[in-house]
Amino acid sequence: MSRSERFEGGRVEIIFLGTSGSMPTSIRSLPSVVIRREGRVFMFDCGEGTQRQLATAKIGFNREMAVLISHMHGDHVLGLPGMIQSMALLGRSKPLKVFGPKGLKGYLKAIDTYVPYASNFDVNVCEVRDGIVVDDPEFRIEAVWVDHSGPCLAYSFTEKPRPGKFNPKAAARVKVPEGPLWRELQMGRAVTVGGRVVKPEKIVGPPRPGKKIVYSGDTKPCPSILRLSKGADVVIFDSTFDESRTDKAKSYGHSTSKQAAVIARKAGVKKLYLTHVSAIYDEEAINDLLKQARKIFPRTYLATDLLRIEV
């Protein structure tokens, strides 16, 4: 890979660690999804067994990481103490940032009081509301309240606009040597070569929108998740039940796969991944959820444990 190709922006990968809802099954763990970008890890929810899935996926326990919890139901948060303990046993040294709704601090404090982490790294817990949770020079993470049986957040991970596509041939024509000057141009800064000023617009295309990924948490269809999902490259959505259990989904604060597909279609997303599937379905029945969704939104896919996709 040439230097110019490395300038094009961060590689973004989604890894599904757990895709079941409420209870694990023989082939599906409890909810946890990782976004990995240029060595940094962002974990959305941390159900029981996440530490094992993290090891199986070979993600690493000492990476720079932030954990974002959607809500304080056990299947989304009970894996967090065990993962922290495993990180400590493996000698983690980097701080761990944990974001989530009210109650998260008290929960982790209670666990640490009676089952001490014995950690040699800082666990920084931040209870959040809606709005921007992380504002990095290269991306932002936003939270919105959604409609579940208790306070629950959905999150979006959005890269900020990326530099335009670099044209190596154009750089060669104006005799800009490969190396640091190429990066300066890619970053939108003019360079001087042999007494000449070379402006970036001669070499680099217009800025490009960053990638956007949305994680729904548990939710019924609601205006906030529709707004958050607008124009996303990937939406990962609560699809606990099939269409025949629409009333049950509503009473429990969940969505059907068909309802997830309607949100995806209205929001104009590129791809929809169904997750948080109820343990009442065997794999054959789960395929029926996929078929129901694809009638509404053809670019729907079924998330499975340890599935990796590049955005």
Q: CB 243: neighbour CB atoms within 10 A? A: 15
Tokens of 100: 């989530």
Active-site residue 130, yes or no? no
| Closest to 236 (Cα-Cα) out of 208, 255, 210, 209 | 255
> Which amino acid makes up residue 169?
K
By the 8 A CB rule, do 26 and 44 touch?
A: no
The two three-digit tokens of residue 133, written as one number? 């949770």
Bridge partners (DSSP) listed for residue 144 = 154
Looking at 45, 75, 218, 233, which residue is catalytic?
A: 75
Rounded to whole angstroms, how far apart are CA atoms 204 and 118? 51
**Residue 203: both structure tokens together:** 């070499």
Helix (H) or strand (E) holding 6: helix 3-6
Residues designated catalytic: 75
